[in-house]
Amino acid sequence: PQNPKTPSVLVKNFNLKMVSTGDDKEVVYSVSFNQNQDQFAVATNKGFQVYSMSSELIRCIKREFKGGLSVVQMLGMSNILLLVATGENPDYPSTNVMIWDDKQLAVINHVEFLPPIKSLSYNCEMYMVGTAESILCMTLDGHNKVHEIVTKFNEKGLHAIS
C-alpha cells in the first residue's frame, strides 16, 4: 500500500536526456533531490533547472551558467543552492562550491577546495563535498571543515548522508 504522506506524482512527457539538435545539445551531469523529496534539481552543460513534484511535474526554475554546472544541491525548500561548475569557464572553476541565492540571482559566496569537486550532499546541519580522494563535512554558516574522511580513489566522489 502507498504511504499516505507520499504524494502521487503524474509525470508527463519528461525526458531527462534534454537533447536537442546541433550545438544546442543539453547534457545532464547530475540530479539531486531536496530533503523533503518533493523537488529535484538538474545540473547540465547549460546551467541548472529545478522541478517540483506536487500533483504533476513542473519546472520551477531554469538558470543558465556559461560553461555549465556539474553538480547542483538544493538546501531544503529555500532559495539557496550549492553549485559546482564544470570548469569549462575560467570564472567558475570546478574546485569551488558556489552558494547561489535564487532570490538575488547571484553567487553570494564561494568556498575553494584544492581537488576538483565531484559531488555534494546536504542535511539540515552541514553539507558534504566529495572529491576523488576524500569526503569533507562542512558547516553551512562559516563554511568551516568539521571533518575529513580520506577515501580510496573514488572517481565520482560518491557518498550518502541521512
The mean pLDDT of 58-83, rounded to a whole number, is 94
Q: What is the pTM of this model?
A: 0.82
Position 23 scores a pLDDT of 65
Position 3 scores a pLDDT of 44
Position 54 scores a pLDDT of 80
Position 22 scores a pLDDT of 57
In tens, the pLDDT along 73-95 reads 999 889 999 999 999 998 899 99
d(CA 112, CA 27): 25
The mean pLDDT of 38-48, rounded to a whole number, is 95
The mean pLDDT of 38-49, rounded to a whole number, is 96
The mean pLDDT of 29-56, rounded to a whole number, is 92
d(CA 79, CA 74): 8
11 vs 43, 126, 131, 137, CA distance in Å? 19, 32, 33, 35
d(CA 138, CA 121): 10
- 8 A C-beta contact, residue 117 and residue 97: yes
The mean pLDDT of 40-48, rounded to a whole number, is 96
- 8 A C-beta contact, residue 101 and residue 80: yes
Residue type, 104: Q
The mean pLDDT of 140-161, rounded to a whole number, is 91
Phi-psi region of 25 (alpha: psi -120 to 50; beta: other; left: phi over 0): beta
